[in-house]
Amino acid sequence: MTETTTDPYAGTSESTSGPVFNVTGGDWDTIEADALEGDRLVINMGPQHPSTHGVLRLILEIDGEQVRDARAGIGYLHTGIEKNMEFRTWTQGVTFCTRMDYVAPFSTEAAYVGAVERLLDIEDQIPERATVIRVLMLELNRISSHLVAIATGGMEIGALTVMTCGFRDREEILKAFELITGLRMNHAYFRPGGVAQDLPDGSIQHLRDLVTLLKKRLPEYAALCNANPIFKGRLQKVGRLDLAGVLALGITGPILRSTGMDWDLRRTQPYWGYDTYEFDVVTRDEPDAYGRFMIRQQEMWESLRIVEQCIDRLAGTEGQPVMVADRKIAWPSQLSVGADGQGNSPQHIQHIMGESMEALIHHFKLVTEGFRVPAGQAYFPIESPKGEIACHAVSDGGTRPFRVHFREPSFVNLQGVSAMSEGGMLSDVIVAVASIDPVMGGVDR
Q: Domains, the chain, ranges and CATH?
A: 2-73 (no CATH), 81-329+371-443 (1.10.645.10)
> Is 366's pLDDT higher than 90?
no
* Confidence band of 4 (pLDDT split at 50, 70, 90): very low
Q: Tell me the β-bridge partners of 71.
A: 59
* Confidence band of 313 (pLDDT split at 50, 70, 90): very high
**What's the whole-number mean pLDDT along residues 59-71?**
85
**What's the whole-number mean pLDDT along residues 220-224?**
85
pLDDT score, position 2: 46
- Name the region of 171 (left: φ>0; alpha: ψ -120 to 50; beta: rest): alpha
Which of 14-18, 176-180, 346-350 has the highest mean predicted lDDT (pLDDT)? 176-180
> Is 258's pLDDT higher than 50?
yes
* Confidence band of 51 (pLDDT split at 50, 70, 90): low
pLDDT score, position 38: 57
**What's the whole-number mean pLDDT along residues 11-36?**
52
Percentage of the chain beyond pLDDT 70 is 84
Which of 38-42, 172-176, 321-325, 339-343 has the highest mean predicted lDDT (pLDDT)? 172-176
pLDDT score, position 393: 94
* Confidence band of 236 (pLDDT split at 50, 70, 90): confident
> Is 88's pLDDT higher than 50?
yes
Q: Is the CA virtual torsion 195, 197, 198, 204 positive or negative?
A: negative
Distance, in Å, from the CA atom of 47 to the CA atom of 57, rounded to the nearest integer, reads 4
Task: Give the count of beta carbons closer than 10 Å to the beta carbon of residue 10.
Answer: 10
Percentage of the chain beyond pLDDT 90 is 36
pLDDT score, position 434: 87
**pLDDT tens for residues 103-144?**
899 999 999 999 999 999 988 999 999 999 999 999 999 999
> Is 1's pLDDT higher than 50?
no
> Is 390's pLDDT higher than 60?
yes
Say if residues 109 and 96 touch (Cβ distance below 8 Å). no
pLDDT score, position 23: 47
Least confident of 263-267, 320-324, 378-382: 320-324
Q: 69 vs 393, which has greater pLDDT? A: 393
**Mean pLDDT of the chain, nearest integer:** 84
Residues 6+ apart with CB under 8 A from 9: none
Say if residues 100 and 406 touch (Cβ distance below 8 Å). yes
What per-residue string of b and e applies to 199-224 under the rule 16 or more CB within 10 Å gives b? beeebeeebeebeeebeeebeebeeb
pLDDT score, position 31: 53
> Is 334's pLDDT higher than 80?
no
Task: Give the count of beta carbons closer than 10 Å to the beta carbon of residue 400.
Answer: 19
* Confidence band of 306 (pLDDT split at 50, 70, 90): very high
* Confidence band of 26 (pLDDT split at 50, 70, 90): low
> Is 331's pLDDT higher than 80?
no
Q: 228 vs 311, which has greater pLDDT? A: 311
Taking each continuous run of H as one helix and of E as one strand, the counts in the chain are: 18, 10
What's the start-to-end Cα distance of the chain, in Å?
45
According to DSSP, residue 391 is labeled E
Say if residues 100 and 404 touch (Cβ distance below 8 Å). no
